[in-house]
Structure 1
Amino acid sequence: MKYSSVKIARFIRRPNRFIAHVIVDNNEEIVHVKNTGRCREILQEGAMVILEEAKNTGRKTKYSLIASYKGDVLINIDSQVPNLVVFDGINEGKIKEFREVTQLSKEVIYGNSRFDLYFESNDQRGFIEVKGVTLETEGIAMFPDAPTQRGCKHIYEMIKAVEEGYAGFIFFLIQMKGVNYFTPFEIRDPEFTKALRLASEKGVTILAYDSIVSEDGITIGTPVEVRLC
């Protein structure tokens, strides 16, 4: 996945979930943040960030903040790209668990949820729910960075789908390179962690892959170990 026009800027502050103040081209600019999560560990004053220039010239903000450096590591924080990265990864045969897929669709309704992807292969059909992961501490990738009732709802719906004969996958796309393993952030959201562990026990497959991140793009990387306990 490639961004058409990007610029490097310096992060100043984030007064709310939707906007941030940055220095770009020696001017202070208010930009849209393409992630409503906390991202406090990433968006620190002085951090070098990546902006995407908006195609819509009538928009209030000229740029969107899509990525940030944390030390030497570039982390993509665009919450709109994980589904596309996984979708493209499956279509390009880069995700080993889905190399036999014969049909792939986006945004499919099941029960009271809308799963990110639906797939069919020669021997199964099922759903994939994609979660973008931007939180990393000492080489450990974690999700979520804030409590998510919606995330829990998706997990319980996925359990139901598996019980009704579908294959079910929760796919954590880690939007960076260099992590050692993935684990749910139990202290931040114990209910999500409980639901994810139950899903694994009930036959839902939990996957994690990292990403190859550049200043103007992001693509699927390689599998990352998942630790649920």
Structure 2
Amino acid sequence: MNYPNIVKGSFINRPNRFIAYVQILSGDGEEKTVICHVKNTGRCKELLLPGVTVLLQYHPEASVLGRKTEYSLIGVYKKREEDTLLINMDSQAPNLAAYEWILGSESVCDVKREVTYGQSRFDLAFQLIGKDESGCVTRTPAFMEVKGVTLENNNHALFPDAPTIRGIKHIEELIHAKNDGYEAYLLFVIQMKGMTGFSPNEETQPEFKEALKKALAAGVHVLAYDCQITENSMIVDQPVPLNLD
């Protein structure tokens, strides 16, 4: 997935979950402060610190579309002791990136987005293509729920960054789908590169870790993949080891 019209800025503050103030350079080289829509309603306190470099997407058609802001905050350079890590923090990006990724697989077909099942709406539904013992082509229905990951500690990705009752509910629905004969997948899209592993954030929500263990025991496929990140793109890339210890 790609972002046109990317602008760099310096983060000032975030008065609420939905907007932030960022300082950028105008076309004539003058500094100005702009109001941005934050495309992530999570806390992100470890990312959005005063003075950090952030990435904004400029929307030249904002007034035509009735947008309240001309800019969306979609990425941040996280300062670490040894380096600076580029993180995509657009909470809408993982679903689209996962959709593009799964479309590239030869073992799936009939991919659909936002499909209702039970009391939940899963991000993706598709048919798994295989062969039975006689060599005949088979198709097995499957669901996938996608979670974006922006929290890391010492090159280890963690989810969630805040308690999520909704996330546990999705896991429970995936277990129900598996018991009903569907294949079920939980995909963690790590919105950065260079992670050595992925774990549920037990310190923040131990119940999520227990739900994840229950899902694995029920046969739900739990996957974690990192992404190739640039200032104007994000592509699902390589698997990252899952660590539940």
TM-score (structure 2 length as normaliser): 0.89
Match of 1:76 among 88, 96, 99: 88
Q: Which residue of 2 aligns with 1:224?
A: 240
Greater mean alpha carbon deviation, residues 155-164 or residues 119-128: 119-128
Aligned residue for 1:121?
Answer: 128
Deviations 1:107-158 (A, max 9, x none): 1110000000001022422100000000011111000001111101100000
Quick check: 1:86 aligned with 2:98?
yes
CA shift, 1:74, in A, is 0.7
Out of 224, 235, 240, which is 1:208 matched to? 224
- Aligned counterpart for 2:166 among listed residues 145, 150, 168: 150
- Distance in 1, Cα, partners of 2:3 & 2:129: 35
Cα distance between partner residues in 2 of 1:128 and 1:39: 25
Q: How many residues align?
A: 224
Larger Rg: 2
Normalised to the residue count of structure 1, the TM-score between the two structures is 0.95
- One-letter amino acid of the structure 1 residue matched with residue 3 of structure 2: Y
CA RMSD between the two structures: 1.0
* 8 Å Cα contact 2:128-2:142 kept in structure 1: no
Tell me the SS of whatever aligns to 2:169.
helix
List structure 1 runs of 4+ shifted beyond 6 angstroms.
none
Q: Which moved more, 1:56-65 or 1:207-216?
A: 56-65
In 2, Cα distance between equivalents of 1:31 and 1:165: 45
3-state SS of paired residue (2:2): coil
- For 1:122 and 1:64, locate their aligned partners in 2 and report how far apart those are by CA, in whole Å: 39
2:6 aligned partner:
6
1:37-86, Cα deviation, whole Å (9 max, x unpaired): 01111111111000011232232211010000013211000001101101
Equivalent in the alignment of 1:96: none
Structure 2: give runs of 5+ residues left out of the alignment.
26-30, 131-139
Q: 1:64 aligns with which of 55, 68, 72?
A: 72
Map of 1:48 onto structure 2: 53
Q: Distance in 1 between matches of 2:67 and 2:182?
A: 42
